[in-house]
Amino acid sequence: MPFTLPAGADAVAETEVKHSRFIAVLRRVDDPAAAQGFLDEQRRQYPDARHHCSAYIIGNNASDRVERSHDDGEPGGTAGVPMLQVLRTRELVDVAVVVTRYFGGIKLGAGGLVRAYSGAVVAAVDAATLLTRDRRELFTLAIDHGSAGRVEADLRSRGVTVIETVYGLRAVLTLAAQDASELTAVVAAVTSGTGDLEPAGEMWVDL
C-alpha cells in the first residue's frame, strides 16, 4: 500500500475561524525526537500563542509505526486527534504537523474546534509538495564502465527508478521495479539483450 510524505520544505497554511488565527506547519520527520524538536521550534517562533497542538506519524510498517497527538490545553479530543486523523486519511508517513492558535475571543465549542484544527491541517497538506512512497522489488544490473552512464540515463528516461550505481570491477546499478517483467523488457531494450537482472530484495522507495 503506497503512502505519501512531504518532499522537502515545510508547508505552511494560515486560516481564521471567528477571529481565532490558526497557523499550520507540516514537516517531514524521521523519528519522534525530530517531531518533538519541531514542536519546540514552533513554540519558540510563536511564544505568545495560546496553543501549539501537534500530531505525527512515523514508520512505514504497521508493526513499527508510531502515532502521537497532543491537544496542548484544548478540550480533550478536539485538536490533536482530528489533526492525526487528517494525516491518516491522506495516508501520510514520516510527517509531523503543528497548529498554533491565537485565540480570537470567541469560543468555538467542541465541534468548531475539531473542524478548525482539522481544516488547518487539510490546508497545510494541500499546500505541500508530496512524494509517493511504495514498496518495490530491487534488482541489480552489472554492466561495463564504458556504457554505464548511457545505460543509466536511458533507464531514467524510460521511468526506471535507479537507487544507486556502485563502481567496482563493473558498474552495478540497483533498480527498483513495481513490475519485474516490465523492467526486464526495458533493460533488454537498453542493453540490446546483454543485461541480466539479479534479484536484490525489497525496500520502500520515494518516487
Query: What is the reported pLDDT for 58?
Result: 96
In terms of domains, do 39 and 71 share one? yes
* Whether residue 207 has pLDDT greater than 80: no
* Whether residue 76 has pLDDT greater than 90: yes
Grid cell 522507495 in the structure block, residue: 205
In terms of domains, do 74 and 17 share one? yes
- pTM, two decimals, is 0.80
Q: In the chain, what percentage of residues exceed pLDDT 90?
A: 83
**Closest listed residue to residue 16, CA positions, set 8, 25, 28, 24:** 24
Sheet of strand 20-28, all strands in order from the earlier edge strand to the far edge: 11-17, 20-28, 95-102, 51-58, 66-70
Query: What is the reported pLDDT for 118?
Result: 98
In terms of domains, do 8 and 98 share one? yes
CA distance 176 to 167: 18
Higher pLDDT, 39 or 4: 39
In terms of domains, do 85 and 179 share one? no
Extract long-range pairs of 153-161: CB within 8 Å, 24+ residues apart: 154/190, 155/186, 155/187, 155/190, 158/186, 158/190, 160/186, 161/136, 161/205, 161/207
In terms of domains, do 120 and 200 share one? no
Query: What is the reported pLDDT for 166?
Result: 94
Query: What is the reported pLDDT for 140?
Result: 95
Kindly give, in sequence order, each residue whose CB lies less than 8 Å from that of residue 179, ignoring residues fewer than 6 positions away: none
Q: How confident is the model at residue 3 (pLDDT cuts 50, 70, 90)?
A: confident
For residue 2, the SS3 value is coil
Sign of dihedral through CA atoms 108, 46, 44, 119? positive
Query: What is the reported pLDDT for 1?
Result: 61
Number of domains in the chain: 2
CA distance 190 to 151: 6
In terms of domains, do 152 and 116 share one? no
In terms of domains, do 21 and 93 share one? yes
When pLDDT is averaged across residues 95-123 and rounded to a whole number, the result is 97
DSSP string, 85-152: HHHHHTTB-SEEEEEEEE--SS--HHHHHHHHHHHHHHHHHHHS-EEEEEEEEEEEEEE-HHHHHHHH
Query: What is the reported pLDDT for 62?
Result: 80
CA distance 176 to 201: 10
In terms of domains, do 123 and 151 share one? no
Q: How confident is the model at residue 125 (pLDDT cuts 50, 70, 90)?
A: very high
- Domain termination site, one of 128, 150, 184: 128
**Closest listed residue to residue 99, CA positions, set 85, 116, 87, 111:** 116
**Average pLDDT of the chain?**
94
**Closest listed residue to residue 183, CA positions, set 133, 139, 152:** 139
When pLDDT is averaged across residues 22-40 and rounded to a whole number, the result is 97
In terms of domains, do 102 and 147 share one? no
DSSP state at residue 71: -
- Domain termination site, one of 128, 159, 184: 128
DSSP H or E segment with residue 21: strand 20-28
Q: Which domain holds residue 74?
A: 3-128
